[in-house]
Structure 1
Amino acid sequence: MDIFHSIRSVLAPPHRAGLPFIAGGLVLIVLGLIFAGWLAWIGVILTLFCLYFFRDPDRVPPPRADALVAPADGLITRVDLAIPPPELGLPATPLPRIAIFLSVLDVHVNRIPMAGTITRIAYRHGTFVNAADKDSDNNERNALALRLDNGAEIAIVQIAGLIARRILCDVHEGDHVATGARFGIIRFGSRTDVYLPPGTLPLVTIGQRAIGGETVLANIAATPFGIPPAADIPTTPPPGL
């Protein structure tokens, strides 16, 4: 079953953001067939890479109203406490944060962690360093504030990476969104962070891989009161990350 699931994921239709790149590869193939064979091979490689990179597989969120799921595929590189982006207007209080790094091999479609209403979307220009680095907090980003159906607030942040130059967000302020729903994509390497309500206990750890829309990051309904001490949450990745 896992093999068939992987095959379906790889062969999934592309996200609309990849269509111009796929079309460019097809044009190169046609031009290569007319003028130069080597150009056609470049077009084939480009087309296949874009079909893979922009793949948009369906995901099935867990059938639990209290489950907050991963907003993206990738490697969890941070589980710490951090102040959410100031442009969202949320209280400047450290919140549990989970950062997911997306390599060029991961699915880059972003998904809503939990059902709620988009209360604010704020885009901020910045740098373009490796999204796994500590300095990437200053990278170009798009931040969303989401008021969950139970009244709690979370933040989701799309962060551009070293070669990423385009963040796409398909939702608008005031939209009510479902758990696991697609809300955007970041082109070519990036990071997606989620800031949890105060006191939330993360159910994942640094070095774990997440599947967007399916991996449960936290149980919101079972959240204890108060923010856990910083010492209870690892703040630095293990060697090699």
Structure 2
Amino acid sequence: MKFHKEGYVSLAVVVLFAFIINAIADYYMAPQLVKWLIYAISAFLIIVVLQFFRSPTKHVVPDESIVLCPADGKVVVIEEVEETEYFKEKRLQVSVFMSPINVHVNRNPVSGVVSYFKYHPGKFLVAWHPKSSTENERTTVVVRNASGVEFLFRQIAGALARRIVWYVKENDKVTQGDEFGFIKFGSRVDIFLPLGTEINVKIGDKVIGGKTIIAKLS
């Protein structure tokens, strides 16, 4: 387990805050009970940041016959929808909701070349809202695998998530299981698959990014 680079600033701010309030309590000789309360709050904040930005090491053997889950969380949507941004036709949508206690690293569900990328500024509706996929701040990534099949996936900001980070751009070669981004605090990732794809999860399943098989390809 390692600490993700996106958390360096947050950890520094929390540690500095904890140092300052502890120093103030010591300087003004606060009652012992108050000091212990401040110590407890400081430790809690540091632990929260450490767990939120944890980044488990994943060893993924790329497999073109499967689609891996792009994020840790819970499956909240499996349905046939009209994808209006890129494909402009029906696709199977699978959505994973990431709560604040989940690992927030986003991983490539397939290997291939990024054929499309776009960042969309937008609203901050709760991540499970039906319109969050099209109205919230988000990124859209399309990857074409070696067989020429394209897969679209989106990072979607939630009510708390105010920063989406991405590490890919058009024409980049990406490898299944490698990081393609990070979202701070509760959020959601959607993936759009070709019709007829065999879905390997169901609503309510807890899934792990870079490990759980979302779908199997024919």
Q: Would the TM-score normalized by the shorter structure come out above 0.5?
A: yes
1:129, distance to aligned residue in structure 2 (A): 1.4
Equivalent position amino acid for 2:47 in 1: L
SS of 1:82's equivalent? Answer: strand
1:99 counterpart = 2:95: yes
SS of 1:91's equivalent? Answer: coil
Q: Which residue of 2 is the match for residue 58 of structure 1? A: 57
CA distance 1:85–1:142, change in 2 (3 Å): farther
Greater mean deviation of Cα atoms: 31-40 or 144-153: 31-40
Q: Give the whole-Å Cα distance in 2 for the aligned partners of 1:168 and 1:41.
A: 31
SS of 2:88's equivalent? Answer: coil
1:208 counterpart = 2:197: no
1:61, distance to aligned residue in structure 2 (A): 3.1
Counterpart selection for 2:159 from 159, 162, 165: 162
1:46, distance to aligned residue in structure 2 (A): 1.7
CA distance 1:183–1:85, change in 2 (3 Å): farther
1:24 counterpart = 2:13: yes
1:63, distance to aligned residue in structure 2 (A): 5.9
Q: Give the whole-Å Cα distance in 2 for the aligned partners of 1:108 and 1:33.
A: 30
Q: Give the whole-Å Cα distance in 2 for the aligned partners of 1:112 and 1:183.
A: 6
Deviations 1:30-57 (A, max 9, x none): 2123212455543322211011001110
Deviations 1:102-131 (A, max 9, x none): 001111100000111111211112211110
Q: Give the whole-Å Cα distance in 1 for the aligned partners of 2:166 and 2:96.
A: 17
Q: Give the whole-Å Cα distance in 1 for the aligned partners of 2:120 and 2:76.
A: 22
Structure 1 residue runs of 5 or longer lacking an equivalent are 1-11, 223-241
Q: Is the 8 A contact 2:117 2:170 kept in 1?
A: yes
1:188, distance to aligned residue in structure 2 (A): 0.5
Specify the structure having the higher radius of gyration (Cα): 2
Matched positions, count? 207
Q: TM-score, normalised by structure 2?
A: 0.89
Q: Which residue of 2 is the match for residue 140 of structure 1? A: 137
Q: TM-score, normalised by structure 1?
A: 0.81
Percent identity of paired positions between Structure 1 and Structure 2: 33
SS of 2:188's equivalent? Answer: strand
Equivalent position amino acid for 1:51 in 2: L
Q: Is the 8 A contact 1:79 1:205 kept in 2?
A: yes
Q: Is the 8 A contact 1:144 1:156 kept in 2?
A: yes
Structure 2 residue runs of 5 or longer lacking an equivalent are 26-34
Counterpart selection for 2:112 from 116, 123, 139: 116
Q: Give the whole-Å Cα distance in 2 for the aligned partners of 1:21 and 1:61.
A: 29
Q: Which residue of 2 is the match for residue 34 of structure 1? A: 23
Q: Which residue of 1 is the match for residue 30 of structure 2? A: none
Q: Is the 8 A contact 2:62 2:176 kept in 1?
A: no
Q: Give the whole-Å Cα distance in 2 for the aligned partners of 1:120 and 1:39.
A: 49
Q: Give the whole-Å Cα distance in 1 for the aligned partners of 2:147 and 2:94.
A: 21
Equivalent position amino acid for 1:128 in 2: F
Q: Give the whole-Å Cα distance in 2 for the aligned partners of 1:126 and 1:64.
A: 35
